[in-house]
Structure 1
Amino acid sequence: MNKHVIVYTTNDCIECTLVKQVLTQEGIPFEVRDVSLKSDYQKEVEKFGFLGVPVTVVGERAVKGFTNELKELIDFVKIRE
């Protein structure tokens, strides 16, 4: 299972900042993809069925926003480490 974590974001997104802070606090490395800088990143977000950010992706699992689903995704990543 690919454990590479990607966070689709924009600079002015408060929820995006919260997602990145939580991942950092949990010690989970992640790649940031700013959809406002590269249109291909927005297309990737849309392939997961979302239009906005933040979207956090691990393998084929994607979670939108700063929700309980994000906590479950973090737990999933930590178990797989």
Structure 2
Amino acid sequence: MNVIVYSTNDCIECEMVKKVLTEEGIPFMERNVSVSPEYQKEVEQLGFLGVPVTVYQDLKVKGFTNELKALIEKAKTNPRP
């Protein structure tokens, strides 16, 4: 599983990201920062303070934005690093 989604509880944007990835057939690992301080540290090391953050290879996308489309397309065309 190459795509990682950092999320938190009760996050509408996080749910939207996970829904789109699922609809597009992109498998992902969810890392909930609400249950693991280590995951929050990982998000900060990536250069972000909040979630959702979606990571695939060298792409790091904050939120539910058009940049997420590029990440999805890259994951579809190049499913392994």
| TM-score when normalising by structure 1 | 0.93
Q: Residue 26 of structure 1 corresponds to which residue in structure 2? A: 24
> Structure 2: which 5+ runs fail to align?
none
Q: Residue 4 of structure 1 corresponds to which residue in structure 2? A: 2
**1:18-61: per-residue Cα shift (whole Å, max 9, x none)?**
00000000000000000010000001001111000000001232
Number of residues of Structure 1 aligned to a counterpart in Structure 2: 79
* Percent identity (aligned): 65
d(CA) in 2 for partners of 1:12 and 1:25?
A: 20
**1:57-78: per-residue Cα shift (whole Å, max 9, x none)?**
0123210000000011001111
Q: Note the aligned Cα RMSD (angstroms).
A: 1.0
Following superposition, the deviation at residue 11 of structure 1 comes to 1.7
Matched, 1:73 2:71: yes
d(CA) in 2 for partners of 1:61 and 1:73?
A: 7
- Tell me which stretches of 4 or more aligned residues in structure 1 moved more than 3 Å: none
> Structure 1: which 5+ runs fail to align?
none
| TM-score when normalising by structure 2 | 0.93
